């Protein structure tokens, strides 16, 4: 059991990939603390309600954690059909704020795993902007930067998945060198989850049909969850600063 005696925090634990990560982590021996804005429909060792768009809610959730957690899995997110401000806050600013707050509770050997997306693959086209945003400290400073550099509503989801990948890249080695805490991201393609329909609406039928010919099928949530739990385990102790596609080879078809 790869996660025996480890305490793992999973955001977005009420459904989709987050729920599968929570189930698998418990099966692999972990004590799992789930976080979500919705009540979970599965067995957890503990549940903490949190709204990632609110720093007050995040602060309260962090205060409710034990003094030591061994891994943080940032799975929670809203789809591209959500309000753009909410999307920025939940998918990037709140995730980053929570992670920074939990960092001091992670021991040497601890792990952070962020859920990115194949839709963040164009991050090199906006690298300078993403690095500027990554350099801001705190929720408010990040929001102020975004106010000065507005993101088009129709590309918000992609933009903040790109930003998350870049933040993972630029921040991970600093924390690994200073604290021996690893941070990686996982980039799924389409996944059979409750919000899959939102992605169809966001991308449009033409894009969806075009991509459908490039892959066998969308992933099942457990196929992504197994990679997340691996990155939390000691088997991945020398993997840090990686963005790992888990997409059935979809990304490779764009080369």
**13, 19, 25, 29 alpha-carbon torsion, rounded to 10°:** 90
For residues 103 and 107, what is the distance between their CA atoms, to the nearest angstrom?
A: 9
92 in active site: no
Q: What phi and psi values does residue 245 have, to the nearest 5 degrees?
A: -65, 135
Whether 165 contacts 116, CB under 8 Å: yes
Tell me how far CA of residue 193 lies from CA of 84, 216, 220, 244, in angstroms: 21, 17, 8, 20
The CA distance from 4 to 249, in Å, is 31
Q: Kindly give, in sequence order, each residue whose CB lies less than 8 Å from that of residue 173, ignoring residues fewer than 6 positions away.
A: 240, 241
Residue of 92, 97, 157, 169 marked active site: 157
CA angle 150, 156, 160 (to 5 degrees): 95
With H, G, I as helix, E, B as strand and everything else as coil, classify residue 43: coil
The residues that are catalytic are 157
């Amino acid at each position: 059991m790869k996660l025996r005696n480890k305490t793992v925090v999973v955001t977005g634990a009420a459904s989709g990939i987050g729920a599968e990560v929570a189930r698998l982590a418990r099966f692999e021996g972990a004590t799992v603390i789930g976080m979500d804005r919705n009540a979970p429909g599965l067995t957890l060792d503990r549940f903490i309600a949190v709204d990632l768009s609110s720093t007050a809610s995040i602060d309260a959730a962090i205060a409710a954690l034990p003094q030591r957690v061994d891994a943080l899995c940032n799975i929670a997110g809203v789809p591209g059909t959500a309000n753009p401000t909410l999307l920025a806050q939940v998918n990037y600013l709140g995730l980053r704020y929570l992670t920074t707050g939990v960092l001091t509770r992670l021991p040497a050997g601890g792990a952070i795993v962020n859920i990115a997306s194949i839709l963040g693959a164009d991050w090199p086209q906006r690298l300078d902007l993403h690095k500027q945003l990554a350099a801001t400290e705190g929720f408010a400073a990040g929001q102020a930067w975004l106010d000065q550099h507005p993101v088009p509503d129709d590309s918000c989801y992609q933009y903040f998945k790109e930003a998350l990948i870049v933040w993972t890249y630029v921040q991970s080695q600093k924390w690994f060198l200073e604290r021996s805490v690893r941070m990686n991201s996982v980039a799924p393609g389409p996944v059979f989850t409750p919000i899959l329909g939102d992605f169809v609406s966001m991308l449009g039928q033409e894009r969806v049909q075009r991509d459908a010919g490039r892959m066998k099928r969308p992933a099942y949530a457990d196929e992504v969850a197994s990679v997340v739990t691996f990155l939390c385990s000691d088997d991945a102790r020398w993997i840090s600063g990686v963005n790992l596609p888990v997409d059935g080879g979809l990304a490779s078809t764009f080369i």
